[in-house]
Amino acid sequence: MVERRSLAEQVTLLDLVDRVLNKGVVVTGDVTLSVADVDLVYVGLRLLLASAATLEREAAR
């Protein structure tokens, strides 16, 4: 159990999003992610990463 957890922890968030949010069987639940939602994740990650990079640059000054 411990080993499996550590494996999941090594996985990058991007690889997780690639699989957990983009793949897998889509079922119709009370809430179902749409393609638009997943695109939102990409947009969101871009903004987050872009702002993190800006922060790092500012910190380096």
Partner 1 sequence: MIEAPAGTAWYVYGVAEDDPTLARLEGVELIRDSGLTAVVRAVPLEEYDEAALPERLNDRDWLERNARAHEDVLQEVAAVTAVVPLRFGAIYRSRDQVLGMLDERAGEFRSTLERVRGHVELGVKAWVDLPSLERTLGGDEVAAAGSAGAAYLQRRRQEQERSRQATARCAELAEEAHRRLSEVAVAAVANRPQPRELTGRTEAMVLNGAYLVRSGDDLLRLEVERLGKEHSSDGVEYELTGPWPPHNFAEERT
Binding site for partner 1 (CB under 8 A): 1, 4-5, 7-9, 11, 13-33, 37, 40-50, 53
**What CA dihedral angle connects 40, 14, 7 and 4, to 10 degrees?**
20
Residue with smaller CB distance to partner 1, 13 or 55: 13
CA-closest candidate to residue 22, choices 48, 47, 42, 44: 42
**CB of residue 20 to partner 1, shortest distance in Å:** 5
**CB of residue 61 to partner 1, shortest distance in Å:** 20
